[in-house]
């Protein structure tokens, strides 16, 4: 079973994930670990440098709000977290935009890749496609 790629930045990752998918605040520890393991599995095939970049990006995301709000990302209230991430997703620096969109994609994959996440959406994929009974 893959390990979590976020051990050193777990609290930052979870704050970002709960901002991207607000329903994630309801996850218990088992749910968070499952989400992280799904992402970890996807990242296992990627170069170690990419995983280090992801960890560094999360660390930068945690520190940057200090310059605007006087607090780390983890210390912000939900509306300021949302506002901050909206600024990152539209940042003039391509590196920040790419980093955020990649991280956002991983969060969606981890959250909705869990059985409970899939059932929340009502998604019922079936090999029979549209012919499957609904």
Q: What is the pLDDT of residues 31-48, one digit of tens each?
A: 999 999 999 999 998 999
Task: For residues 86 and 104, give the distance between their C-alpha atoms in angstroms, rounded to a whole number.
Answer: 11
- Cβ contact 43:50 at 8 Å: yes
Running DSSP on this structure, what letter comes out for residue 93?
S
Q: Which two tokens stand for residue 9?
A: 């930045």
Q: Is the pTM of this model over 0.85?
A: yes
Q: Which two tokens stand for residue 64?
A: 């940057």
User: Residue 55's CB: how many other CB atoms inside 10 A?
Assistant: 17
Phi, psi (deg, nearest 5) at residue 128: -80, -5
* Average pLDDT estimate for 118-128: 73
Q: Which two tokens stand for residue 60?
A: 């930068």
pLDDT of residue 129: 72
């Amino acid at each position: 079973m893959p390990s979590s790629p976020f051990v050193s930045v777990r609290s930052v990752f979870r704050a970002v994930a709960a901002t991207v998918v607000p329903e994630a605040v309801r996850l218990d520890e088992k749910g968070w670990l499952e989400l992280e393991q799904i992402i970890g599995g996807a990242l296992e095939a990627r170069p170690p440098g990419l995983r280090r970049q992801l960890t560094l990006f999360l660390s930068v995301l945690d520190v940057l709000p200090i310059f605007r709000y006087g607090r780390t990302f983890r210390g912000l209230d939900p509306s300021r977290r949302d506002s901050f991430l909206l600024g990152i997703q539209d940042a003039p620096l391509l590196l920040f935009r790419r980093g955020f969109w990649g991280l956002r994609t991983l969060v969606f994959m981890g959250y909705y890749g869990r059985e409970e996440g899939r059932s929340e959406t009502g998604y019922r994929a079936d090999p029979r496609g549209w012919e499957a009974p609904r």
